[in-house]
A and B are shown apart, each in its own frame.
Chain A
């Protein structure tokens, strides 16, 4: 049986400081490892806020049942790392490097599921926290995982701006709002594409 919300919240609070230490160590490690890599805008690592964790823990399925039976085990982004690169062409090399550094359970390129739509894009991985960063042997509540996202500046800018508007999943947007968001996503997508073409020299400069 699932523990009640207060117990879940208390359990999360009890490990919060440990998660902050792990996040700090991961950020330092990723920063050091990527220090010589070109086109890295920033590397950040954060711990999911208590309210945000609880909101996720209380999510329900379409049939009304709770989405997470054991939130402390099933929510894998208690710690989230993000690497922002300049161009889309930088993503594969960074992705391969991250895969050589961490054991991974999942990797997904997130794109809209319909070619006629524009929306959130990015590369997400669920990685294992390496035992030299933290050993979870005696702390079963601390997740074995952290989420790592690799995004371009354009993808990051769009998702931050969209997040800032405060639209939550499940909230019904008007048609006009949906079209404006899709328009902005399309602009970001086009900017990424144009930059990638420029950086790879697909668009030749004029001589003279």
Chain B
């Protein structure tokens, strides 16, 4: 049976996966699982929608983690589902995947409805993995299939991953993921449970690559922007980011948190969607090198801060009479005299009490 987007669905698998029990140490055969025949009903329509929408739903690019020999256990199981011509090897691989899910699920994640779907279109094969949080209120309502239908229609919390490629021994290394439960601020737990622990994958960019590219975009943005207000907004965004240890960001979360929609629109024009949505750890070293400030301490108590990446353009160093001197050159935008007191507006100034004569 075909999805509305023309994928021929070969395999649909469900399993109820409980949190890992250290005492019972379940085997996959202990989980309730089903192989579903696609048919013309509400459940199938819902599944097909998830399957067809997965590429637009999943924004975060992920890569399977390799052991340096192009091997990854979860990728091998997904590849088996994608490449097997018959149902039995697919079912075995799906059971192994649900067992892996069981091993990484702890009490915080509760029992989850784990789904695997696989379909083909042209030379491409797509495998979609999803985990729906089990809604306690729905337990034991009718049979398992009725339960599944209820979870789908009532649960808004799910994790999803899609892998699509031309099947071969060297393909299916890259995918995309999403957690409908997480916000940018809570990305880390999602990344640990779903991407790292279960999928044995990692986000697409290393911290060095991501931070370097973010820095380049910020510098480009500063160059393009003539408004002092916008420049201050960008600089303050950088200062904020620098002050957060172990921050995990994407260009998208950076824009949403610190920049106006106008500046965000400029950024989006400069980068592709995959980079815009890619999540990476901020690398302090790269950040300081690319967007840090050089502090110049001169004689007579003079201190000047110059963004390191603007240093060569605005600062000239010379050696005169054996002493290094510096000249800072630029267009003066604003001059403030630090009085050491909080500025007080004229209206707020307390009036002097009239002296009683």
Report A's interface with B, CB cutoff 8 A: 33, 69-70, 72-74, 76, 100-108, 126, 128, 130-132, 135-137, 140, 144-145
Distance of A145 Cα from B170 Cα, bound (Å) = 10
Binds A, one of B151-159, B198-206, B229-237, B309-317: B198-206
**5 A-B residue pairings within 8 Å (CB atoms):** A73-B166, A103-B205, A105-B70, A131-B278, A132-B272
- When C-beta atoms are compared, the residue in chain B nearest to A134 turns out to be B272
Q: How many residues of B contact A (CB 8 A)?
A: 34
A131/B68 in contact, CB under 8 A? no
- Is there a chain A Cβ closer than 8 Å to B61's Cβ? yes
B69/A132 in contact, CB under 8 A? no
Distance of A107 Cα from B205 Cα, bound (Å) = 18
Which of A104, A105, A106, A108 has the largest count of B CB atoms less than 10 A from its CB? Answer: A105
Q: Chain B residues with Cβ under 8 A from A33's Cβ?
A: 212
- B 98-118 contacts with A by CB, 8 A: none
A74/B69 in contact, CB under 8 A? no
Q: Chain A residues with Cβ under 8 A from B252's Cβ?
A: none
- When C-beta atoms are compared, the residue in chain A nearest to B217 turns out to be A132
A73/B171 in contact, CB under 8 A? yes
**Contacts A131-B274, A131-B275 supplied; 5 other A-B pairs, CB < 8 Å:** A69-B168, A100-B207, A101-B209, A102-B206, A131-B272
What's the nearest-Cβ distance from chain A to residue B65, in Å? 8
A130/B68 in contact, CB under 8 A? no
What's the nearest-Cβ distance from chain A to residue B283, in Å? 8
Q: Chain B residues with Cβ under 8 A from A100's Cβ?
A: 206-208
Q: Chain B residues with Cβ under 8 A from A145's Cβ?
A: 173
Distance of A101 Cα from B213 Cα, bound (Å) = 11
Q: A103-B202, A128-B173, A130-B204 are in contact. Are A73 and B165 (CB under 8 A)?
A: yes
- When C-beta atoms are compared, the residue in chain A nearest to B289 turns out to be A36
B206/A101 in contact, CB under 8 A? yes
Q: Chain A residues with Cβ under 8 A from B173's Cβ?
A: 105, 128, 144-145
A135/B274 in contact, CB under 8 A? yes
Q: Chain B residues with Cβ under 8 A from A72's Cβ?
A: 166
Distance of A106 Cα from B176 Cα, bound (Å) = 21
B205/A74 in contact, CB under 8 A? no
B168/A73 in contact, CB under 8 A? yes
Q: Chain A residues with Cβ under 8 A from B202's Cβ?
A: 103
Distance of A140 Cα from B169 Cα, bound (Å) = 15
Q: Chain B residues with Cβ under 8 A from A74's Cβ?
A: 168-170
- B 301-346 contacts with A by CB, 8 A: none
- Is there a chain A Cβ closer than 8 Å to B124's Cβ? yes
Distance of A162 Cα from B228 Cα, bound (Å) = 60
Q: Chain B residues with Cβ under 8 A from A105's Cβ?
A: 66, 68, 70, 173
A103/B206 in contact, CB under 8 A? yes
Distance of A140 Cα from B168 Cα, bound (Å) = 13
A126/B70 in contact, CB under 8 A? yes
What's the nearest-Cβ distance from chain B to residue A120, in Å? 20
What's the nearest-Cβ distance from chain A to residue B84, in Å? 15
Out of A70, A106, A137, which one reaches B68, CB within 8 Å?
Answer: A106
Q: A70-B171, A74-B169 are in contact. Are A102 and B274 (CB under 8 A)?
A: no
Which of A106, A130, A137 has the largest count of B CB atoms less than 10 A from its CB? Answer: A130
Distance of A19 Cα from B25 Cα, bound (Å) = 49
A70/B275 in contact, CB under 8 A? no
What's the nearest-Cβ distance from chain A to residue B333, in Å? 30
What's the nearest-Cβ distance from chain B to residue A104, in Å? 7
What's the nearest-Cβ distance from chain B to residue A127, in Å? 10
Out of A73, A101, A104, which one reaches B208, CB within 8 Å?
Answer: A101
Q: Chain B residues with Cβ under 8 A from A103's Cβ?
A: 63, 202, 204-206
Distance of A111 Cα from B209 Cα, bound (Å) = 30
- When C-beta atoms are compared, the residue in chain A nearest to B278 turns out to be A131
A70/B204 in contact, CB under 8 A? no
What's the nearest-Cβ distance from chain B to residue A131, in Å? 4
Q: A102-B209, A140-B124 are in contact. Are A128 and B70 (CB under 8 A)?
A: no
What's the nearest-Cβ distance from chain B to residue A10, in Å? 14
Q: A103-B63, A104-B66 are in contact. Are A131 and B166 (CB under 8 A)?
A: no
What's the nearest-Cβ distance from chain B to residue A205, in Å? 33
B68/A140 in contact, CB under 8 A? no
A135/B68 in contact, CB under 8 A? no
- Is there a chain A Cβ closer than 8 Å to B80's Cβ? no
- Is there a chain A Cβ closer than 8 Å to B92's Cβ? no
- B 194-250 contacts with A by CB, 8 A: 202, 204-210, 212-213
